[in-house]
């Protein structure tokens, strides 16, 4: 089973009075935010639900990728395509009823081109029925903070907001399986009867935008051109969603502009990292240790304008800590402030290890032990 690592990234946003960029008026809605943050750098109508064409399949694809990540689906498993899967229209891998194909080829087609037949065939194989598959899809969405009921496993005619899309996009970035296939640009899928299906990724930003790592696109005449994109440069990753662009060019140009402006104007300042002490050898009195290192339990960072100076830090701690100390109980805190004195973030500080208080009994035990050991 996949080992999950949870990192809490606290991001504070300040001195932001105007949007970074104004997107094209022919886009219905858009937003951009950093990974692991709910703070929007720029947005327009980002809470409104819209029809999003093929992007409604994203929750199902995420559910399948998660199942592979956790070892519930073997990518080498042979999958027999059922009648319903073979009958699904839209972007497809051109699967035929009764053909056998590997789970790896199906998930590749699902991620690269949102192939409905591949999604349904693999879901049926993994979960036994559409109802069970659908229940797991809704659990995937709920884990991403999107609480909706879907009419079917492909989310047909469902509406989503840009904010919901970037939340789902965050789940995609955290999935090794999704990331492996969403960055593939072209692939030829070989069927057992000798047929070949070309899979061409519609995400043009993979080749035109430095650092783009995916994620998913969709389009329909009635819904416009939509997409959720991720771009990583150094330690910073931005998630961007576009809904209802007038055409494919506007969709990609708007996303690229939002992302480039974010990288140009903002930077991350890492404040605390798990495993690295904030203060070393802090004095302790009345305990079995004379000093202890102090840590923050989570990772903290600030998203700051590049024009701003470094944040100032202040500690709220006694001059000397008094035993006993418990690593699960905070002994003080560290706070960071902007140049004008505004509080940016505050993090609790914990001792690295337990410190036992010296008492008469403990002292006698030490003396007794000293004599026993010569």
Q: What is the pLDDT of residues 256-293, one digit of tens each?
A: 999 999 999 988 777 777 778 999 999 999 999 999 99
The structure's pTM equals 0.79
- Do β-strands 42-44 and 29-34 pair in parallel, antiparallel, or remain unpaired? antiparallel
CATH code of the region 15-267: 3.40.710.10
Intervals of CATH 2.60.410.10 along the chain = 273-360
| pLDDT over 90 (residue 299) | no
Residue-wise pLDDT for 115-157, tens only, equals 999 999 999 999 999 999 999 999 999 999 999 999 999 999 9
As a whole number, the mean pLDDT across the chain is 89
Intervals of CATH 3.40.710.10 along the chain = 15-267
State the CATH class of domain 273-360. mainly beta
**For residues 286 and 147, what is the distance between their CA atoms, to the nearest angstrom?**
52
**For residues 14 and 103, what is the distance between their CA atoms, to the nearest angstrom?**
46
- Asked if 188 and 182 touch (Cβ cutoff 8 Å), the reply is no
């Amino acid at each position: 089973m996949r080992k999950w690592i949870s990192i809490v990234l606290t991001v504070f946003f300040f001195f932001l009075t105007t949007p970074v960029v104004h997107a094209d008026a022919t886009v219905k809605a858009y937003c951009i935010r950093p990974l692991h943050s709910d703070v929007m750098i720029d947005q327009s109508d980002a809470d409104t639900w819209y029809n999003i064409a093929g992007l409604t399949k994203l929750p199902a694809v995420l559910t399948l990728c998660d199942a592979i990540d956790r070892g519930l689906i073997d990518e080498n498993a042979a999958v027999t395509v059922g009648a319903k899967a073979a009958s699904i229209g839209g972007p497809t891998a051109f699967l035929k009823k009764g053909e056998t194909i590997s789970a790896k080829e199906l998930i590749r087609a699902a991620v690269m081109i949102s192939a409905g037949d591949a999604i349904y065939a693999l879901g049926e194989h993994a979960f036994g029925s559409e109802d069970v598959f659908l229940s797991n899809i809704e659990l995937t969405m709920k884990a991403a903070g999107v609480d909706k009921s879907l009419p079917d496993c492909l989310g047909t005619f469902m509406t989503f907001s840009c904010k919901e899309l970037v939340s789902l996009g965050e789940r995609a970035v955290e999935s090794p399986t999704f990331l492996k296939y969403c960055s593939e640009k072209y692939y030829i899928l070989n069927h057992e009867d000798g047929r070949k299906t070309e899979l061409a990724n519609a995400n043009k930003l993979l080749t035109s935008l430095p650092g783009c790592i995916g994620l998913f696109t969709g389009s329909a005449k009635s819904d416009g051109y939509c997409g959720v994109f991720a771009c990583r440069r150094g330690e910073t990753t931005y998630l961007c969603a576009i809904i209802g662009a007038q055409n494919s060019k506007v969709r990609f140009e708007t996303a690229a502009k939002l992302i480039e402006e974010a990288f140009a104007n903002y930077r991350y300042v890492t404040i605390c990292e798990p495993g690295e002490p904030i203060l070393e050898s802090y004095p302790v009195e009345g305990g079995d240790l004379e000093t202890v290192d102090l840590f923050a339990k989570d990772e903290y960072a600030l998203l700051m304008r590049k024009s701003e100076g470094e944040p100032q830090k202040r500690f709220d701690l006694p001059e000397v800590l008094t035993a006993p100390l418990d690593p699960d109980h905070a002994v003080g805190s560290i706070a960071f402030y902007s140049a004008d004195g505004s509080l940016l973030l505050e993090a609790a500080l914990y001792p690295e290890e337990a410190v036992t208080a010296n008492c008469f009994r403990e002292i006698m035990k030490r003396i007794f032990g000293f004599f026993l050991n010569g």
